[in-house]
Amino acid sequence: MPAKKFLLYISQNYSFAILRPLQAAILARGDEVKWFVKGNDVNMSYFDENELRLATVDDIFNYQPDAIFVPGNLVPSFLPGLKVAVFHGFNVEKRSDSRGHFNIRGCFDMYCTQGPNTTGPFQSLADEHKFFSVAETGWPAIDPLYDFVPTEQAKPTILLCSTFSKQLTCAPHLFEQVKQLSASGRWNWLVQFHPKMEKAIVEQYKSIQSEHLTFVETDNVLPLLQKADVMVCDTSSVLLMFLLLSKPVVTFKNSNSKNYLIDFDVPSELEAHIETALSKPDELMQNIEYFREQTHPYTDGKSAHRVLAAVDERLSGVNNPVKSKPLNFIREMKMRKSLGYWKFWS
């Protein structure tokens, strides 16, 4: 049987950590894999020297991938291959109407969901629209999450993460408290923000770096999650990954606060809530465990293999939807414009 060809389609630096477990699984079974970068937001130095890239859309057509894996919301429908959504994060319900994570844009042939609480809604949407399929596989980005041995630390480590949205970010509101707490040396601090975070806020936090606080710029947040004891966050989806390690999260004005979070809205209370999180109250930890089982029950590090198995089934004709994807002329023209590509292949 000839080797299958796969394409990893990215536009942000965080895509590397999501897709590299898939790349490893593809190569381990003897198939081919290449990358394509859309736009200018990806730091090209993050590529390893052995990772193969396609430079142009023409190259994609010449490559003829069997499937394209996308950790984002959009992919051009005119590209060859099965379009597979693998998501850029978990559902944190940033939108009050909950459409954000479950918005069907007509781009994808298949959604590889992370756990029961996303599989159900997507399967209902598949039954309604009838032009895509759903497979619960777990999230490949989580595969390396459990591959570590906890180490003893002299004092707790607090990880501050924040989204870039001005309406949702905690970073500017908690700056003075973080500055004071880090200066005290009571805890070690790691600070990591979304790559689109406002530059002025980034520089503000970089200015208070010390032996007790480190600002981290990385395309792979997993080592930070593994090292920290407590996360301080807002409504960023990264907090859900932290919870999957059965660790507590303190959130500032979370837009959809749940019983597995310690949420607050008065900045001066930050220290007290971190102390509560470090004590790991029984009820809180039970709520975190229930959340983990519903959101991502897979701890075997083999979600990438499940994704490939689900794609193999689709490519063999199993679980094919009964309808074709809807034509969206306006979106296709916008995608062509963004890629600067106007050829029409047969």
Same domain, 272 and 136: no
- Cβ of 7: how many Cβ atoms within 10 Å? 27
Q: What pLDDT was estimated at residue 319?
A: 87
Answer whether residue 176 shows pLDDT above 70.
Answer: yes
pLDDT of residue 346: 46
Domain that holds residue 311: 5-144+301-339
Indicate if 155 and 140 belong to the same structural domain.
no
Contact 84, 109 (CB under 8 A): yes
Sequence letter at residue 138: G
- CB 140, CB 170: distance < 8 Å: no
Same-domain check for residues 126 and 200: no
Is 53 a member of any domain? yes
| 202 and 269 fall within a common domain | yes
Same domain, yes or no: 171 and 284: yes
| Pairwise CA distance, residues 319 & 293, whole Å | 26
Average pLDDT, the chain: 93
Q: How confident is the model at residue 345 (pLDDT cuts 50, 70, 90)?
A: low
Q: Is 270 inside any structural domain?
A: yes
- What's 247's domain CATH number? 3.40.50.12580
Residue 26 has pLDDT above 50, yes or no: yes
- Using DSSP's 3-state secondary structure scheme, residue 9 falls into strand
Are 159 and 129 contained in the same domain? Answer: no
Does the residue 344 lie in any domain? no
Within a domain: 56 = yes
Residue 289 lies in a domain: yes
Mean pLDDT in residue range 236-254: 94
Euclidean distance between CA atoms 215 and 213, whole angstroms: 7
In this structure, which amino acid lies at residue 199?
A: K
Residue 77 sits in the same domain as residue 154 = no
User: Is 163 within a domain?
Assistant: yes
pTM of the model: 0.79
Q: What is the pLDDT of residue 95?
A: 47
253, part of any domain: yes
Claim to verify: residue 193 and residue 181 sit in the same structural domain: yes
Nearest to 2, CA basis, from 54, 64, 94:
64
Number of domains in the chain: 2
Nearest to 298 by CA among 148, 149, 140: 140
pLDDT at 343: 85
Q: Are residues 50 and 118 in the same domain?
A: yes
Residue 118 and residue 193 in one domain: no
Average pLDDT, integer, range 5-10: 98
Final residue before a domain boundary, out of 277, 295, 313 = 295
Distance from C-alpha of 59 to C-alpha of 67, rounded to nearest angstrom: 15
Q: Which long-range contacts (CB under 8 A, 24 or more apart) does 197-205 make?
A: 197/162, 197/164, 197/169, 197/171, 198/164, 198/166, 201/169, 201/171, 201/172, 201/175, 204/172, 204/175, 205/171, 205/175, 205/178
For residues 230 and 260, state if they share a domain.
yes
* Residue 93 pLDDT level (bands cut at 50, 70, 90): low
251 and 321 fall within a common domain: no
CATH number where 28 lies: 3.40.50.2000
**Residue 345 within any structural domain of the chain:** no
